[in-house]
């Protein structure tokens, strides 16, 4: 497995990240297998959010850590906050909305620590851009959590380049990532400024849905030759295409341990630059200008 700084000031993450957003759909035993398989394959970074699994995924994951506290030293934990929706677990919420107030960020971070069974998060993200976001409040919350050692690094998720720059302006330390949708079926971030602004700030992208919601694990006739050339599955080839870019960390969302093993092998593929552009041509339907 490859490891790399997601920002010039840290942290160092595994190049492929395990996304736990659907892990509430499997048994506690399977979650344990997913964690151990990921670690065995060198996938040491795990992506969470406070709302995943109707606010249950962090606790399910944390149960494994509580059974074996030494696991925490082998991994990096990412979580997100800022989304609220109606739930029996959150009875005061009547409508889905965003809350990036200082008080909610602090409460959510503390709750994530409790659920995950850890004393710190390696990275905390604002889950969605909030039209009522007050950057001064966000900066105060982030600074307090950082000073207390409860969160080591901070970032954004689904922010536009302008929103990322705006929030960074209010912070005395760097936002290290923006988690955005990138895949062969969504190539816009290569051209709309998403990746440009991250590199401007010496940061990287965490790519959610890197396999296009599973569509890119199937492929079509055009893929046959390339898959054979690299002795790879369509999914591995799709991940290798993203990994060719030095500032992209794919977040895989599988609930199957075998898929984790398969995905980790994509790091062994040294995709030729011409093949990369040919694959881009397939999805765009035309040559680059």
Give residue 89's pLDDT band: very low, low, confident or very high (50, 70, 90).
confident
| Residue with more model confidence, 217 or 187 | 187
213 pLDDT more than 90 = no
**Residues 17-35, mean pLDDT to the nearest whole number:** 97
10 pLDDT more than 70 = yes
What confidence tens digit (pLDDT) does each residue in 49-88 have?
999 999 999 999 999 999 998 999 999 999 999 999 998 8
Closest CA to 250 of 262, 233, 238, 268: 238
224 pLDDT more than 90 = no
Annotated domain spans of the chain? 3-284
| Residue with more model confidence, 194 or 224 | 194
What confidence tens digit (pLDDT) does each residue in 132-151 have?
999 999 999 999 999 999 99
71 vs 159: CA distance, rounded Å? 32
> Of 3, 52, 170, 234, which is the active-site residue?
52
Helix (H), strand (E), coil (C) string for the chain: CCEEECECCCCEEECCEEECCCHHHCCHHHHHHHHHHHHHCCCCEEECCCCHHHHCHHHHHHHHHHHCHHHHHHCEEEEEECEECCECCECCCCCCEECCCHHHHHHHHHHHHHHHCCCCECEEEECCCCCCCCHHHHHHHHHHHHHCCCECCEEEECCCHHHHHHHHHCCCCCEEEEEEECECCECHHHCCCHHHHHHHCCEEEEEECCCHHHHHHCCCHHHHHHHHHCCCCHHHHHHHHHHCCCCEEEEECCCCHHHHHHHHHHHHCCCCHHHHHHHHHHHHCCCCC
* Percentage of residues of the chain with pLDDT beyond 70: 99
Return the pLDDT at 221: 65
Beta bridge partners of 90: 87
For the ranges 40-49, 220-229, 252-261, which has the lowest average pLDDT?
220-229
Q: Taking all residues of the chain, what is their mean pLDDT, rounded to a whole number?
A: 95
Return the pLDDT at 225: 81
Residue 230 catalytic?
A: no
Task: Evaluate whether 214 touches 183 at the Cβ level (below 8 Å).
Answer: no
Query: Does domain 3-284 bear CATH number 3.20.20.100?
Result: yes
The residues, any chain, with a CB within 8 Å of residue 133's CB and separated by 6 or more, are 98, 100, 126, 167
């Amino acid at each position: 497995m490859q490891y790399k700084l997601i920002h010039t000031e840290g942290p160092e993450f595994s190049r492929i990240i395990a996304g736990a957003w659907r892990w509430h759909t499997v048994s506690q035993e399977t979650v344990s297998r997913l964690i151990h398989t990921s670690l065995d394959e060198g996938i040491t970074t795990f992506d969470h959010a406070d709302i995943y699994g109707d606010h249950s995924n962090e606790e399910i994951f944390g149960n494994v850590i509580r059974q074996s506290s030494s696991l925490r030293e082998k991994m990096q934990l990412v979580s997100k906050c800022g989304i609220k929706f109606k739930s029996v677990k959150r009875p005061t919420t009547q409508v889905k909305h965003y809350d990036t107030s200082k008080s909610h960020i602090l409460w959510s971070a503390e709750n994530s620590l409790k659920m995950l069974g850890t004393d710190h998060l390696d990275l905390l993200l604002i889950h969605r851009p909030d039209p009522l976001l007050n950057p001064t409040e966000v900066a105060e919350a982030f600074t307090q959590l950082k000073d207390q050692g409860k969160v080591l690094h901070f970032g954004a998720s689904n922010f536009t380049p302008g929103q990322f720059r705006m929030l960074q302006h209010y912070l005395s330390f760097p936002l290290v990532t923006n988690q955005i949708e990138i895949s062969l079926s969504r190539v816009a971030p290569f051209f709309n400024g998403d990746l440009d602004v991250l590199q401007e700030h010496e940061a990287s992208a965490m790519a959610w849905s890197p396999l296009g919601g599973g569509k890119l694990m199937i492929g079509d006739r055009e893929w046959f030759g390339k898959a054979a050339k690299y002795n790879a599955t369509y999914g591995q080839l799709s991940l290798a295409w993203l990994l060719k870019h030095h500032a992209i960390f794919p977040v895989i969302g599988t609930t199957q341990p075998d898929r984790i093993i398969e995905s980790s092998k994509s790091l062994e593929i040294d995709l030729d630059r011409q093949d990369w552009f040919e694959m881009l041509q397939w999805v765009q339907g035309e040559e680059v200008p």
